[in-house]
Amino acid sequence: MLWVKSIQCQIDGSLLLISDNSTYPPMPLMLSDHPDIQVIGQVVQISKDLT
């Protein structure tokens, strides 16, 4: 599965995955429970139609 999310590191070592789409709530993720998670890239630019 592939997602584009903002990542917020939590004090307890977990991650909070945050979507720009408010339909999807933030998703907590304990790395110890999911050792196969990989960050494979970084979004560096977006384009939007402003009209």
Report helix, strand or coil for 32: helix
pLDDT for residue 50: 64
- Map out the domains of the chain as residue ranges: 1-25
The pLDDT confidence band at residue 40, using thresholds 50, 70 and 90, is: confident
* Residue-wise pLDDT tens digits, 9-37: 999 989 999 998 889 999 999 988 988 88
Q: Which long-range contacts (CB under 8 A, 24 or more apart) does 40-47 make?
A: 43/4
pTM of the full structure: 0.68
> 4-43: string of b/e by CB count within 10 Å (b at 16+)?
ebeeeeeeeeebebeeeeeeeeeeeeeeeeeeeeeeeeee
Residue 45: CB atoms within 10 Å: 4
